[in-house]
Structure 1
């Protein structure tokens, strides 16, 4: 009877956590407007304290997958075309007072961003150094002595730079660590994998969701007020300004400023509702492209199977061989999102299809902010059976639930977790 009560209590706690984590409201977005940046939301530092391991258990290994840290917009042209447009309007006297001020701000941003399209920002470096430092401080026993660490990233430079920032901080904390760094096509089949089937589904040109989304974006992109506030010459607008493209371009610049060093904001040129509506579009796009959209029937989430397989196999190797402190992997938002869905971490695997309903149950900034990460921490009772291993799972450094029975959350028996995930992979 007592065991049944424990099971029911654990289930209730899991359901409560799911419902709380799943809800996003317009009020939440308005109170922290930077969240409307979605995947550009800078890594939050409001995680809860770590739960102490059960008596006698010590950490000995950490398995990790992390998104690169904060970056600039993906290419220089994402800034430059806007600057060119505003420069032309400035020369022709077509800008309003607010437009002139916006133009000056864009020029200031360009001083920092020019030549850095797609690069890790200094904040991105600090984020990964911070995550590494907290990992080391939270699980010091795993990093004692001179254990080995495998660090691998995708071939994209910002991921490799994130990996180096992370490893450098660990090395500063313990110079005896033996870290091997690799950024190679050899590992892309699990660090950044996408099937042809999933690519067909997620195609914005002819995916089965594309036309519905086009109408949704059309309804949620209302640029007239914004354009009229920036440009005072109607003839210039008619001949030179694409209102929707300009609104979207400014949205991306505004969203990414939280990741840059230049202290400039563009949020004052938008109404909060405009930002919220644009974010809904992008949130839905990321949901379709990387998560468990109901019409996808799991084919997008399945992209993470090879990654989960590597996580399981690497853990088995670390347990068998010993002397391995961590396996560190670095990739992209499009890899973290299907991984947390496949692992069924709390609300990350929710399946819906209506674009208007997605943000209420799935929010990109909660799943995959800049530097988002998943950690599986392994604990062993050194005085007990060698196979007596517990794990806890962290998503963005917060302890999270998975659908595996436990009476000691956030800790799970590794044998139960591994069995669950290996069966899932079948």
Structure 2
């Protein structure tokens, strides 16, 4: 209960601190329709932001946590179910011209996706290679010589392959780098951890679920879409679950930006339909992973062990007086609570009204495919003052810590702030 009280106060203060940030609008979201893919939004960054450090300061350490790159949908059955629905309707002569066109597109998708449920795509590999290259080019001092570096991923294959893509690109740029790569259960206690309280909360018995269920029901309007695809109302009544098929098509449409096979499904949806479906997904991520007040801080607390590792690893790197990096690769369910716990930019805003969740918080901003957090550390000769800057998806972001060198912060102030924050967590 004390955790709940603490986070309620913290989130209230958060709202005061950030009420100057403009709320995102429906128009801004729909301006780039791919954003309605939410956590399936392909990594949008092609250039990193790099503000020159204060005079005399040189980068020597990078602490990093990234989501895996672009992937196929989690289960190949999610594709096969939709494929089978269209093939059955085709045999029954129950498809419209548009429905038959979608059937043909789905055949192309299935040929590509079969056997690949949840796997990293070639685009996902490319994303991490490019992020690694930009990191190397922007902070060459960190990678000079023969430094020993740590790279760890969760035990999920797409994360392991993301780590390999990232590290291989670094090794191509400097073959002398010594990067120890690990993917084992030993580090899951911080690499991909969810507290028992968090696991219990997200179940359908959680206090959030019934309101969410109604929200999903009220934002799922499949009739127009389904009648555009199937020519017989009798066939629809006897064979089609409109809501389930709409959601199946939404997930496939959202993921097409991650597979690069030249197939698109956004033409079969209206903007309002995509916006409504995305709101449902955003709701779920906000409540079940993020800083929504209804979860009382339970979800954010799952990132405690990860933040502890970040702080401890930074202290070790500073004491070593060498250049190095700590690279970590995990999932959206790890990035979301870590962003909120670090209080990065405007991505820890709070809202209690479900219809306004999207105005305060957007999943595609917080954790697109290959989303990453980088903390870049700098030191100056003949000085013990270490400074650090925070980057989210390679863009510099602010944290609520006083500084006289924006966008940089004095490490002593940063560490005190976060150590004190951790003390308030269970």
Residues in 2 aligned to 1:323 and 1:48: alpha-carbon distance in whole angstroms: 24
Query: Is 1:258 equivalent to 2:257 in the alignment?
Result: yes
In 2, Cα distance between the equivalents of 1:73 and 1:21? 33
Matches within 5 A, 1:228-247: 228-247=227-246
Cα distance, 1:237 vs structure 2 = 0.8
For the 8 Å contact 1:105–1:264, the answer to whether it is kept is: yes
Match of 2:162 in 1: 162
- Distance (whole Å) between structure 2 residues aligned to residue 160 and residue 43 of structure 1: 18
Quick one: distance in 1 between partners of 2:309 and 2:215? 38
- Report deviation, 1:94: 0.6
1:148 alignment partner in structure 2: 148
Distance 1:22 1:40 in 2: 24
Normalised by the size of structure 1, how large is the TM-score?
Answer: 0.94
Contact 1:41-1:258 within 8 A present in 2 as well: yes
Residues 68, 371 of structure 1: 8 Å contact kept: yes
Deviation at 1:16, TM superposition (A): 12
Change (3 A) 1:121 1:132: same
C-alpha distance in structure 1 between counterparts of 2:37 and 2:17, whole Å: 24
Question: How far 1:72 moved relative to its partner?
Answer: 0.3
- The match for 1:9 is none
Deviation at 1:347, TM superposition (A): 1.9
Deviations 1:33-74 (A, max 9, x none): 110000111111265631001110000000000000000000
Summarize deviations over 1:3-42 as a string: whole Å, max 9, x none.
Answer: xxxxxxxxxxx99995676622111122111100001111
Partner Cα separation in structure 2 for residue 306 and residue 103 of structure 1: 47
**Are residues 1:313 and 2:312 paired?**
yes
> Secondary structure at 1:407's aligned position in 2?
coil
2:190 is aligned to 190
For the residue of structure 2 that corresponds to 1:63, the secondary structure is: strand
State the distance in 2 between where 1:218 and 1:15 align: 29
Report the Cα distance in structure 2 between the residues aligned to 1:89 and 1:363, rounded to whole angstroms: 37
SS of residue matched to 1:348: coil
Contact 1:159 1:331 in 2 (8 A): yes
Q: Is the 8 A contact 2:15 2:349 kept in 1?
A: no
- Structure 2 distance, partners of 1:127, 1:184, is 23
Indicate conservation of the 8 Å contact 1:287/1:364, yes or no: yes
Q: Paired residue for 2:389? A: 392
1:153 to 1:291, Cα distance in 2 relative to 1, 3 A: same
How far residue 322 of structure 1 moved from its aligned partner, in angstroms, is: 3.2
Does the residue aligned with 1:356 lie in a helix, a strand or coil?
helix
Q: Decide whether the 8 Å contact of 1:201 with 1:207 is kept in 2.
A: yes
**Cα separation, 2, equivalents of 1:32 and 1:16:** 30
Tell me how far apart the structure 1 counterparts of residues 294 and 89 of structure 2 sit (CA, whole Å): 45
In structure 2, the partner of 1:127 is: 127
Q: Which residue of 2 aligns with 1:39?
A: 39
Q: CA RMSD in A?
A: 1.6
Displacement after TM superposition at 1:350 (Å): 1.8
1:382-416 Cα offsets, whole Å, 9 max, x none, are 2x22x211100000000000011001111100111
Q: Is the 8 A contact 2:141 2:323 kept in 1?
A: no
Q: CA-to-partner distance for each residue in 1:329-357, whole Å, 9 max, x for gaps?
A: 00000000000100111222222222111
SS of residue matched to 1:320: helix
What CA distance in whole angstroms lies between the structure 1 residues aligned with 2:171 and 2:45?
23
2:413 to 401, 411, 416: 416
- In the alignment, the residues of structure 1 paired with residue 229 and residue 214 of structure 2 have an alpha-carbon distance, to the nearest angstrom, of 26
Aligned counterparts of 2:292 and 2:389: Cα–Cα separation in 1: 27
Residue 71 (1) aligns with residue 71 (2): yes
1:206 is matched with which residue?
A: 205
Change (3 A) 1:21 1:66: farther
Question: In the aligned structure 1, how far is the partner of 2:295 from the partner of 2:282?
Answer: 16
| Cα drift, residue 196 of structure 1 | 1.2
Kindly report structure 1 stretches of 4+ aligned residues shifted beyond 4 Å: 14-22
Deviations 1:285-319 (A, max 9, x none): 00011111112111110000000000000011111
Q: Using the TM superposition, give the Cα deviation of residue 323 of structure 1 relative to its aligned residue in structure 2, in angstroms.
A: 3.1
1:176 corresponding residue in structure 2: 176
- Structure 2 residues without counterparts, runs of 5 or longer: 1-13
Q: Does 1:50 align with 2:47?
A: no
CA deviation vs aligned residue, 1:243-284 (integer Å, no higher than 9, x gap):
000000000000000000201100000001000000000000
Aligned counterparts of 2:230 and 2:208: Cα–Cα separation in 1 = 35
Deviation per residue, 1:348-378 (Å, 9 max, x gap): 2222222111000100000000000000000
Unaligned runs of 5+ in 1: 1-13
Deviations 1:143-197 (A, max 9, x none): 0000011000000000000000000000000000000010001100001111111
Tell me the distance in 2 between the aligned counterparts of 1:48 and 1:262.
27
Q: Name the TM-score, length of structure 2 as normaliser.
A: 0.94
| Structure 1 partner of 2:334 | 335
Give the conservation status (yes or no) of the 8 Å contact 1:280–1:359.
yes
Aligned residue pairs, count: 410
C-alpha distance in 2 between matches for 1:413 and 1:322: 17
